[in-house]
């Protein structure tokens, strides 16, 4: 009986927790409102019961109560409700029985995770940190309490800004964390290193006094401790690399007064000790790590960190790693050969081509031989990966001394194609290497060094997609991705061979549609394969559609291809296939006005895609295809515009739509207006207010984080593209005067963005274009408004003197249009 009672209590707790939280934003807001509108007495009873449950003898009940208390705090504290919570949790934490103390600390940890730092006053933060750090102390006899305290500190670090600015408090916290990394209990050691990793990114600029001690404890953990602990110790240095790479990229290495955080060059200083420590980890491989998709172990973490170190310090790493490579690359033990190869592959991004090219020239031959002849699969897997890295970073139009020449190109292709017949994980890496080999020749014309092998490469890749084991190690996906890249980077010479590929891929797609009754697992695999094949056709359509002669020959297949795409949609009842949608966009672009004949059948799937809120990527892709269709059909789009506009307006006014789909929807208003011109008149009364309210929202960007600023700029760009398309669509039409009432608002929007000073280059170019469009379409009606506007003149001058030639060009055109409008 007791067991079922415990289960039902745990269930009640989980139901409560899920009733207060949801994944989707709009659902979450509803739940928050529902909780807040509950009767206060009821809420009071629930909260009292939860606090009482923290003392329950049943661990699961305590744990669930902790989570639910934190969820409620996440709702109530920002509303200035439940002010007594933190005080009551902390009131007598050190007199409590052990299990209650542990549950209370766990609750404080969850609370810090749920609540944002600005709703907890500093006095409470100090008390939480004191309780947590005391709970971590070696004097605390109970390990469950110490573990709960250490995990709570991890969540509380974001609250500790003021405490980390105070030397004494910071010293104390750092001492306790470093001491905890030596605890006899492995979970406490792991949690302590997790705290150090978090501190390394949150408080990078405060680390200098501790870095030597931290190096000593991380080095000891990496060499001697259990894997979960060692992994976090390596992660500390990876995290420091990430910080320094960001700082050095942002300020280009020269620190003026305005850089917020200076670079302390911790990695550079630690190099002589850090690199040998990381090289040792490379020898701790696991037997089957290549077969296991999600594998992560000390050797992989060490190699990843070594790669970050190379990106942080550049050339300095090379002489520290080369002796290890030279010593181990020919050893009889596979672990030594693999580690040496992995070390080499890891340092190829960061150091300068001048430093690496001579080494690569020596190593290349060795690697090609190893890939065909080494008896060990691990070594071959890593060798193929390293070749891919060589081609990715040291081969291409930007590199002065080519490492691939007439002399070795044939050998490279032969070895990679041979290697594509190897076991799945090696073949997958060989496909990856070929991908970067092809990509490096993207800029080459009229003839590419790969042209003589084109037929052979394509054939080999198609053979790979049919292997029995192509489902393993992402092999089939890699083969199609590589095939797409080979086609995308091919030159006119090979166009006839790309044309021959069309019926082959069409046949493959046709075969996936002849399916019998499939299990859900098989249906998922079939969907993936259809996605890969549609993706392949999309690349081929773009390639062949880009020049007139090949486009003309390709058109003989257009009807059949469109037929296949429609069948792909038909077999996926509700969800529209994203890749098929993208491929149709490419087809519309290539076929132009002739695409109109497919619209009657295709339209229902277009509408389905626009209605697909749940899979917002599908919705976004479909919105993009609306633009492709408008550009292809121009005024032949008109019969479908009512339906499309209705759906787009519905999308915009829904609170369920993911915000990332809004900018492309606004852009597509512009595409539609450009396509149908003055016929857009009947949508103005719906579209313009939507654009105006979005414009007002996007103008207020005070204290936004980077992600928000990026989103704001993409939103502004979408709005501006809409205005631009609408203004250009009405140009030279008698109905132009319908737009005059909207002109002041558009100018106000441009003013407010100029004043905010946070436009990126893309927005700037579109914005100055819209200023020109206003003058160009509305003539003298806009001229006087532009002259009166606050910042148009300054904005124009700023754009005219821009370094970005695209912005400059738009500005020159706008200047011309404005001077014409003013002189009328």
Dihedral through CA 751, CA 753, CA 758, CA 763, nearest 10?
-110
| Mean pLDDT score, 397-418 | 91
Tell me the angle at which helices 805-823 and 780-788 cross, rounded to the nearest 10 degrees. 110
| Mean pLDDT score, 670-690 | 96
pLDDT at 824: 63
What lies within 8 Å, CB to CB, of 89 at 6+ separation is 104, 107, 108, 111
Q: Which two tokens stand for residue 724?
A: 């631009």
| Mean pLDDT score, 122-139 | 91
The count of residues in the chain is: 824
**CA 86 → CA 16, 76, 104, 346, distances in Å?**
21, 12, 10, 48
Rounded to whole angstroms, the Cα distance separating 175 from 172 reads: 5
Instruction: Return the number of other C-beta atoms located less than 10 Å from residue 733's C-beta.
Output: 16
Rounded to whole angstroms, the Cα distance separating 595 from 589 reads: 9
Q: Cα Rg for the chain, rounded, in angstroms?
A: 31
The residue behind tokens 């737009």 is 739
Residue of 662, 581, 677 lying closest to 629 (CA atoms): 581
What would the DSSP string read from start to end of 477-540?
Answer: HHHHHHHHHHHHT--GGGHHHHHHHHHHHHHHHHHHHS--S--HHHHHHHHHHHHHHHHHHHHH
pLDDT at position 411 over 90:
yes
pLDDT at position 254 over 70:
no
Residue 20's pLDDT band, with cuts at 50, 70 and 90, is: low
Percent of the chain with pLDDT over 70: 94
pLDDT at 513: 87
What are 270-312's pLDDT values in tens digits? 999 999 999 999 999 988 776 677 788 999 999 999 999 999 9
Rounded to whole angstroms, the Cα distance separating 666 from 658 reads: 14
pTM of the prediction?
0.89
pLDDT at position 574 over 60:
no
């Amino acid at each position: 009986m007791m067991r079922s009672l415990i289960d039902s209590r745990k269930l009640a707790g989980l139901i409560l927790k899920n009733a207060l939280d949801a994944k989707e934003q709009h659902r979450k807001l509803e739940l928050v409102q529902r909780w807040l509108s509950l009767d206060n007495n009821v809420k009071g009873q629930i909260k009292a019961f939860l606090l009482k449950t923290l003392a329950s003898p049943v661990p699961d009940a305590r744990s669930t109560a902790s989570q639910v208390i934190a969820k409620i705090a996440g709702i109530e504290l920002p509303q200035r409700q439940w002010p007594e919570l933190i005080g009551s949790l902390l009131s007598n934490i050190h007199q409590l029985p052990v299990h209650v103390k542990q549950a209370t600390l766990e609750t404080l940890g969850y609370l810090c995770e749920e609540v944002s730092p600005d709703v907890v006053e500093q006095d409470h933060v100090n008390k939480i940190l004191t309780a947590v750090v005391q709970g971590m102390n070696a004097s605390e006899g109970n390990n469950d309490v110490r573990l709960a305290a250490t995990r709570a500190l991890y969540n509380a670090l974001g609250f500790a800004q003021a405490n980390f600015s105070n030397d004494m408090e910071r010293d104390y916290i750092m001492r306790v964390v470093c001491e905890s990394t030596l605890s006899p209990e492995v979970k406490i050691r792991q949690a302590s290193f997790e705290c150090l990793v978090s501190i390394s990114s949150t408080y990078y600029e405060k680390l200098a006094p501790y870095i030597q001690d931290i190096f000593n404890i991380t080095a000891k953990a990496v060499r001697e401790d259990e894997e979960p602990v060692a992994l976090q110790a390596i992660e500390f240095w990876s995290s420091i690399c990430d910080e320094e790479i960001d700082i050095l990229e942002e300020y280009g290495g020269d620190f003026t007064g305005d850089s917020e955080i200076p670079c302390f060059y911790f990695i550079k200083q630690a190099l002589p000790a850090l690199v040998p420590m990381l090289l040792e980890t490379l020898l701790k491989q696991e037997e089957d790590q290549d077969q296991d998709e999600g594998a992560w172990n000390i050797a992989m973490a060490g190699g990843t960190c070594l790669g970050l170190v190379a990106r942080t310090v550049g050339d300095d790493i090379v002489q520290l790693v080369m002796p290890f490579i030279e010593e181990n690359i020919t050893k009889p033990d596979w672990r030594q050969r693999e580690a040496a190869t992995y070390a080499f592959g890891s340092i190829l991004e960061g150091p300068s081509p001048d430093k690496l090219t001579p080494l690569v020239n020596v190593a290349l031959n060795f690697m090609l031989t190893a890939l065909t002849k080494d008896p060990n699969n691990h070594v071959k897997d890593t060798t193929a990966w390293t070749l891919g890295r060589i081609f990715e970073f040291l081969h291409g139009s930007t590199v002065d001394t080519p490492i691939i020449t007439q002399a070795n190109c044939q050998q490279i292709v032969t070895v990679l194609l041979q290697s594509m017949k190897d076991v799945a994980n090696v073949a997958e890496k060989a496909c990856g290497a070929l991908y970067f080999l092809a990509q490096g020749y993207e800029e080459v014309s009229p003839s590419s060094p790969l042209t003589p092998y084109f037929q052979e490469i394509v054939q080999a890749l198609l053979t790979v997609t049919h292997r029995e084991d192509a489902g393993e190690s992402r092999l089939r996906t890699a083969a199609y991705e590589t095939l797409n890249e080979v086609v995308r980077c091919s030159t006119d010479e090979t166009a006839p061979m790309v044309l021959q590929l069309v019926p082959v891929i069409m046949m493959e797609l046709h075969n996936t549609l002849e399916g019998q009754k499939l299990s859900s697992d098989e249906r998922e695999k079939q969907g993936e394969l259809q996605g890969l094949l549609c993706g392949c056709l999309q690349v081929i359509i773009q390639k062949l559609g880009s020049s007139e002669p090949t486009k003309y020959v390709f058109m003989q297949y257009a009807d059949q291809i469109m037929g296949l795409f429609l069948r792909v949609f038909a077999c996926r009842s509700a969800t529209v296939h994203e890749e098929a949608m993208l491929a149709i966009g490419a087809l519309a672009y290539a076929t132009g006005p002739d695409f109109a004949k497919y619209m009657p059948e295709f339209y229902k799937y277009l509408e389905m895609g626009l209605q697909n809120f749940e899979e917002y990527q599908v919705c976004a892709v479909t919105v993009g295809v609306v633009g492709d269709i408008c550009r292809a059909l121009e005024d032949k789009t008109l019969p479908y515009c009512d339906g499309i506009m209705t759906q787009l307006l519905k999308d915009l006014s829904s609170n369920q739509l993911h915000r990332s789909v809004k900018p492309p929807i606004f852009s597509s208003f512009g595409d539609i207006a450009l396509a149908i011109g003055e016929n857009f008149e009947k949508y103005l009364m719906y579209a313009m207010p939507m654009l105006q309210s979005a414009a007002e929202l996007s103008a207020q960007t005070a204290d936004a984080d980077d992600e928000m600023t990026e989103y704001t700029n993409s939103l502004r760009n979408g709005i501006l593209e809409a205005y631009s398309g609408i203004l250009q669509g009405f140009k030279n039409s008698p109905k132009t005067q319908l737009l005059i009432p909207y002109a002041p608002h558009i100018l106000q929007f441009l003013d407010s963005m100029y004043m905010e000073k946070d436009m990126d280059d893309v927005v700037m170019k579109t914005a100055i274009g819209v200023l020109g469009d206003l003058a160009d379409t509305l003539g003298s009606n806009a001229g006087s408004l532009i002259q009166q506007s606050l910042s148009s003149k300054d904005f124009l001058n700023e754009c005219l003197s821009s370094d970005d030639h695209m912005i400059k060009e738009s500005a020159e055109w706008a200047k011309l249009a404005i001077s014409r409008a003013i002189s009328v």
